[in-house]
A and B are shown apart, each in its own frame.
Chain A
Amino acid sequence: MRNKKLVKMTAMAATAAMMMTLVAGCGNSGSDSADKKEDATASKGGSTITIAASAGWVKDIDKELAAKYEEESGNTIEWQVSPDDQYENVLNSKLSVGEGADIFYIRSGVTINKYQPEKHMMDLSDQEWVGRYTDWAKEGVSNDGKVVQFQTWSVDGWGILYNKAIFEEAGITEVPKDFASFKTACDKVLAAGKTPIYEPGAAQWHLGTWLSELTTQEEAENAGFYDSLNDNSEVFAGKEGLSKALDQMVELEKAGYFGKDFMANTWEDMVAKMASEEYAMGVVYTTFPAEVEAVNPELTQESWGMFPIPLNDNKEFGVSAGGIGRCVNKDTKVADAVMDYFDFLSQPENLTAYYDARKDLGPCSFTDIEGNVPAAYGDVMDNASGSGFTAEDGVLYWDSAQVGNLMQGMFLGNSKGEDVLKGIDDLRQPSFGE
């Protein structure tokens, strides 16, 4: 009896083991990702490069250039594009399991620290194209003295874009310089029968972008603010300038400057709304007019001006650390092919094609070509007293969407500016560990 049981148990275990090997075996034969990583080391064709990115960062031109590269080199590009709102989660989980793609896109600047650069990112400092980086690009893609990203993006920031014709029609002669003159301008727009500001309140990250711009002022007045936040010796709570700015933002909404039901406004609608000429202003980046022009050709670059967000009388223009860059996974088995691909993309001819197609980008990361220089950029810089990194690019563990979520509570009347600041501290704190 007992023996029988033993036999049975062994049989069971054997069945289980067989099933597992069968499963694993089939998996291997069916899997090309596992196999190809081992055999593909040569750069001369035949390698497959996997690229992970958020959907919004990959445009048609990226696919076209990749196709051209495939043709020239014989290598294959495999895209692993995730929806924007899922990318961060997917990237985190793949990296922590050791399944990261060969190339992965992340934001330049302080964000690099969120992904353990020394563990996951290859040092690219000795690449030929590094010498051709502009200063701002090189600064944005460097971490701990090493270049860790290949970046073809541009430095840009978010300011208040205004429609010159509507301003004129409303009788606004001077660009608002402080909160009081900004409110006056808004009142005049209202009186002229237009909505002063299109604010996509459904996009929480867009609300967060306002505050991310305004922290630039705090850093400018109080140098070292970001550094102290990043070594966890400083907090947002108690920063009166910031809480005042937030409360003033609610004031704008209460005064009806955002129109009705602004929290149902989507970012996706913003181009169309600005093109409709029903809204006088909106918080956007400097290349935005090009996108509007594509919808409404009557509105050209010249139709718009831009100034820094004047809450709390701010005059600083917050800029990014260069946008989005590509990191190379330290575990990649096809490093040579990846470098070959970057060399290809960094050729002036391909950079030109890229920036020509990306009207949403400003100046080029490389000195070879100019890229696009939007009129609004010069305009906002003229109107600003200075510029610095936004919170998103200078403050570790800042998450604009989460900040925007807190800000929505403020517009619903559930909290004040100071509560939002405390909430941001609460969100960041656990990430520093005990």
Chain B
Amino acid sequence: MNKNKTYKNLRKLLKFLFIAVSSLIILVPIYFIVVNSLKTVEESRMLSFSLPSVFQWGNYLEVIKAGSLVRAFGNSMLMAGVSTVIAVMVSSMAAYALSRRRSKAHNTVYLYFFMGLIAPVNYVTTLFTLKFLHLQNTYLGIILEFATLGIPFLVFLYYGFFDNIPRELDEAAVIDGCTPFQLFFKVIFPLLKPATITGIVLNFLGAWNDFVTPLYLLSDNKKLGMTNSIYNFFGEHFNDWNMVFADIILTIAPILIIYICGQKYIVSGTAGAVKG
């Protein structure tokens, strides 16, 4: 019995070591970014792994100033944040009705949404549509566009998740006198928490990381967010790797925080979607 236990422990240790070593493949490039963001320009051009001779924390302040990152950060938060709220609301509602009804027509509408995972985005015609709605070069326009781009995946995610929520709940709530909207927002929506958190994290990441859409739909440089700022910054400071890496860290730090906060829900959140 004892022998068996040591054997088990040894296996566990080997497994741990194996995973730890594999994770270096992810961690080493990240370490590389961090360490080089703290060097002087000359040192960072060597693109090496060594620690900086003197830690240049000032790089970060300089990048924030040079890239007007405070404004860009606010823009990104606004655009990614609001669009995510809209996308999560409308998608959960749509998926709810679609998954509860499941008539032929509803299945077709579901497929219609699913197509969005495949259909190409056309920026010229999208810009034209936004112009028609007088939404070109506005925060509202880009927010609605980001929300729209998130809808297909979110509908897909929620659609599967609703199978986990028993219909008996709906019936009980109706007997208690709930209106359809009360039923959804007071009873159902709170139960969707894992899917919602997963959706929020993924959608926020998508909007935050998207640099092409704002490039076409927003003209004014002052309205651009963090990821576009890094693109412009890279264009101007292509050889100042320390600055580029510092900018990268500043761009990914907020999404990492959001991701780590939502991380424990992501597995159970995706679980639902996968079943469908």
**Is B a genuine binding partner of A?**
yes
- CB within 8 Å of B: which residues of A? 20, 23-24, 26-28, 30-31, 33-34, 50, 52, 55-56, 78-84, 86, 90, 93-94, 96-99, 101, 266, 268-269, 272
Interface residues of B in 118-162 (CB under 8 A from A): 123-124, 127-128, 131, 133-141, 144
Given that A80-B220, A97-B124 are contacting pairs, would A33 and B137 also be in contact in the complex, using a CB cutoff of 8 Å?
A: yes
The reply to whether B138 and A27 form a contact with Cβ atoms under 8 Å apart is: yes
Query: Pick the contact of A101 from B128, B140, B219, B236 — CB < 8 Å?
Result: B219
Is B164 located at the chain interface by the 8 A CB criterion? no
Query: Pick the contact of B127 from A24, A26, A56, A97 — CB < 8 Å?
Result: A97
The reply to whether A79 and B235 form a contact with Cβ atoms under 8 Å apart is: no
20 pairs, A vs B, C-beta closer than 8 Å = A20-B133, A23-B135, A24-B134, A26-B140, A27-B140, A30-B138, A31-B135, A33-B136, A33-B138, A50-B219, A55-B232, A78-B219, A78-B222, A79-B221, A81-B232, A83-B234, A93-B123, A97-B128, A98-B131, A99-B137
Shortest Cβ distance from residue A215 to the other chain B in the assembled complex, whole angstroms: 29
Interface residues of B in 202-257 (CB under 8 A from A): 215-216, 219-222, 231-232, 234-236, 238-239
Given that A55-B235, A94-B127, A97-B127 are contacting pairs, would A80 and B221 also be in contact in the complex, using a CB cutoff of 8 Å?
A: yes
Chain A-chain B contacts (Cβ-Cβ < 8 Å), number? 88
Given that A99-B219, A101-B219 are contacting pairs, would A27 and B141 also be in contact in the complex, using a CB cutoff of 8 Å?
A: yes
The reply to whether A80 and B219 form a contact with Cβ atoms under 8 Å apart is: yes
How many angstroms from the CA of A272 to the CA of B76 in the assembled complex? 35
Contacts of A27 in B (CB 8 A): 133-135, 138, 140-141
How many angstroms from the CA of A407 to the CA of B7 in the assembled complex? 60
Contacts of A31 in B (CB 8 A): 134-138, 140-141
Query: Pick the contact of A83 from B136, B144, B222, B232 — CB < 8 Å?
Result: B232
Interface centre among A27, A79, A84 (most CB of B within 10 A): A27
The reply to whether A52 and B133 form a contact with Cβ atoms under 8 Å apart is: no
How many angstroms from the CA of A335 to the CA of B274 in the assembled complex? 57
How many angstroms from the CA of A101 to the CA of B218 in the assembled complex? 12
How many angstroms from the CA of A209 to the CA of B183 in the assembled complex? 67
Contacts of A78 in B (CB 8 A): 219-222
- CB within 8 Å of A: which residues of B? 45, 123-124, 127-128, 131, 133-141, 144, 215-216, 219-222, 231-232, 234-236, 238-239
Shortest Cβ distance from residue A250 to the other chain B in the assembled complex, whole angstroms: 28
The reply to whether B239 and A272 form a contact with Cβ atoms under 8 Å apart is: yes
The reply to whether A93 and B141 form a contact with Cβ atoms under 8 Å apart is: no
The reply to whether B135 and A33 form a contact with Cβ atoms under 8 Å apart is: no
Contacts of A266 in B (CB 8 A): 238
The reply to whether B133 and A23 form a contact with Cβ atoms under 8 Å apart is: yes
The reply to whether A93 and B127 form a contact with Cβ atoms under 8 Å apart is: yes
Contacts of A83 in B (CB 8 A): 215, 231-232, 234-235
Complex A-B, nearest 4 residue pairs according to Cβ-Cβ distance, in ascending order:
A27-B135, A268-B238, A55-B235, A33-B137
- Residue of chain B at shortest CB distance from A84: B235
Contacts of B131 in A (CB 8 A): 97-99
Query: Pick the contact of B133 from A24, A90, A269 — CB < 8 Å?
Result: A24
How many angstroms from the CA of A94 to the CA of B130 in the assembled complex? 12
Given that A24-B135, A98-B131 are contacting pairs, would A93 and B124 also be in contact in the complex, using a CB cutoff of 8 Å?
A: yes
Shortest Cβ distance from residue B169 to the other chain A in the assembled complex, whole angstroms: 26
Contacts of A98 in B (CB 8 A): 131
The reply to whether B219 and A33 form a contact with Cβ atoms under 8 Å apart is: yes
How many angstroms from the CA of A90 to the CA of B235 in the assembled complex? 16
How many angstroms from the CA of A260 to the CA of B11 in the assembled complex? 47
How many angstroms from the CA of A285 to the CA of B140 in the assembled complex? 45
Query: Pick the contact of A82 from B45, B215, B222 — CB < 8 Å?
Result: B215
Contacts of B134 in A (CB 8 A): 24, 27-28, 31, 34
Contacts of A20 in B (CB 8 A): 133
Query: Pick the contact of A93 from B133, B135, B216, B220 — CB < 8 Å?
Result: B216
Contacts of B136 in A (CB 8 A): 31, 33-34, 97, 99
Shortest Cβ distance from residue A198 to the other chain B in the assembled complex, whole angstroms: 15
Shortest Cβ distance from residue B49 to the other chain A in the assembled complex, whole angstroms: 20
Contacts of A269 in B (CB 8 A): 239
- Residue of chain B at shortest CB distance from A96: B124
Shortest Cβ distance from residue B46 to the other chain A in the assembled complex, whole angstroms: 12
Query: Pick the contact of B219 from A24, A30, A94 — CB < 8 Å?
Result: A94
Contacts of B138 in A (CB 8 A): 27, 30-31, 33-34
The reply to whether B215 and A86 form a contact with Cβ atoms under 8 Å apart is: yes
Shortest Cβ distance from residue A93 to the other chain B in the assembled complex, whole angstroms: 4
The reply to whether B140 and A33 form a contact with Cβ atoms under 8 Å apart is: no
Contacts of A272 in B (CB 8 A): 45, 239
How many angstroms from the CA of A56 to the CA of B231 in the assembled complex? 12
How many angstroms from the CA of A23 to the CA of B220 in the assembled complex? 20
How many angstroms from the CA of A54 to the CA of B221 in the assembled complex? 12
- Residue of chain B at shortest CB distance from A60: B236
Contacts of B235 in A (CB 8 A): 55-56, 83-84
Identify 9 new A-B residue pairs, CB closer than 8 A, beyond the known A31-B134, A34-B134.
A20-B133, A27-B134, A31-B140, A33-B220, A34-B136, A80-B220, A83-B235, A97-B128, A272-B45
Query: Pick the contact of B215 from A33, A84, A90, A96 — CB < 8 Å?
Result: A90
- Residue of chain A at shortest CB distance from B144: A23
Shortest Cβ distance from residue A57 to the other chain B in the assembled complex, whole angstroms: 11
Contacts of B123 in A (CB 8 A): 93
